[in-house]
Amino acid sequence: MSDSIVRGLAAGGQIRAFAAVTTALTEEARQKHNTSPVMTAALGRLLTAAAILGTQLKGTDDKLTLKIKGDGPAESLYAVADAHGHVKGFAANPQVILHARADGKLDVGGAIGKGELTVIRDLGLKEPYIGTCELVSGEIAEDLTAYFAISEQTPTSVSLGVLMNRNNTVAHAGGFLLQLMPGVSAEDAARLEERILAQPPITAMLGQGRTPEDILQILLDGFEPEALERSEVSFFCDCSREKMEDVLISLGRHELLDLMVSQETVEVHCDFCNRYYRFSRQEMKDLFKRHFRTGGSA
Ligand SMILES: [Zn+2]
């Protein structure tokens, strides 16, 4: 099953629902960043959440960023999604090794620790919309639930899961997100919560071969799910040589001149996909000429 997200409505539009399978993109992130098991789980959960929230973007250049900064060994994690089903991300410290928790699960909360979750929606306006909330557990799904309750006043149920194979590759990854609009009765909200709690973990459902559509049908049983729409999602980094040239130019003429004189080649790293772009002295010279000599005032 390729990675995809299904979104829909239920209870006459009062429940917004999303379910995602993100196994391939989480495995791709693991390979690109060579993450340890606990960091594969942390990054996979964050990428899954970003991918789901990214489906709410409308503008072609809109971006959604999830950023976690904690006092644990993972330090910080980033995930960015766009409106086209692309998601990318990285962890500041991808190789954290921690003992599993007493229940056998990877200790994502221990890797992240205490800190903050920030949600940035860049919708092409003058200023991006930024919301921040203190981490509840560092387990990411609970932190997002708290974020939506506190920062956006939207009751939300979030589940995110990454299950590893014995050889530390990704067996299953996915998640769901259900949001209640203001019209939902307390009775319905309680019934939905019961329904959610009665289900096995998301990775177990994926392991049984359930599709995102199946998962929404199960979760929303009795709430008349409708308008289910599926879209593809994948790990994709939009970095390019041109963007990395811009990074070099942004250093300014003095710094670039210094680099040109002191380095035979310079490497610019893309944090999101862990790719290096190499520039030879001659290439730096050409870049310098194009942007600083003929450019005049810069
Ligand atoms: Zn990149």
**pLDDT tens for the 298 residues of the chain, in order:** 699 999 999 999 999 999 999 999 999 999 999 999 999 999 999 999 999 999 999 999 999 999 999 999 999 999 999 999 999 999 999 999 999 999 889 999 999 999 999 999 999 888 999 999 999 999 999 999 999 999 999 999 999 999 999 999 999 999 999 999 998 999 999 999 999 999 999 999 999 999 999 999 999 999 999 988 999 999 999 999 999 999 999 999 999 999 999 999 999 999 999 999 999 999 999 999 998 875 555 4
User: pLDDT tens digits for 262-278?
Assistant: 999 999 999 999 999 99
Q: Any residues with CB less than 8 A from the CB of 264 and at least 6 apart, and which?
A: 280, 281
CA 15 to centroid of ligand 1, rounded, Å: 36
Given this model, what pLDDT does residue 294 score?
58
**Angle value at C-alpha 287, between 285 and 292, nearest 5 degrees:** 95
Backbone φ and ψ of 279, nearest 5°: -125, 125
User: What's CA 44's distance to the chain center, in Å?
Assistant: 7
Q: Is 212 helix (H, G, I), strand (E, B) or coil?
A: helix
CA 246 to centroid of ligand 1, rounded, Å: 14
CA 70 to centroid of ligand 1, rounded, Å: 24
CA 238 to centroid of ligand 1, rounded, Å: 6
CA 89 to centroid of ligand 1, rounded, Å: 9
As a whole number of angstroms, the distance between CA 63 and CA 57 comes to 7
Q: How crowded is the C-beta side of 37, counted as CA atoms within 13 Å?
A: 18
CA 62 to centroid of ligand 1, rounded, Å: 18
Domains plus CATH for the chain? 4-235 (3.55.30.10), 241-293 (3.90.1280.10)
Which pairing describes strands 86-91 and 234-235: parallel, antiparallel, or unpaired?
Answer: parallel
For the beta carbon of residue 136, count every other beta carbon within 10 angstroms: 19
Q: Comparing C-alpha atoms, which of 197, 186, 188 is closest to residue 159?
A: 197
User: pLDDT tens digits for 14-26?
Assistant: 999 999 999 999 9
Given this model, what pLDDT does residue 298 score?
45
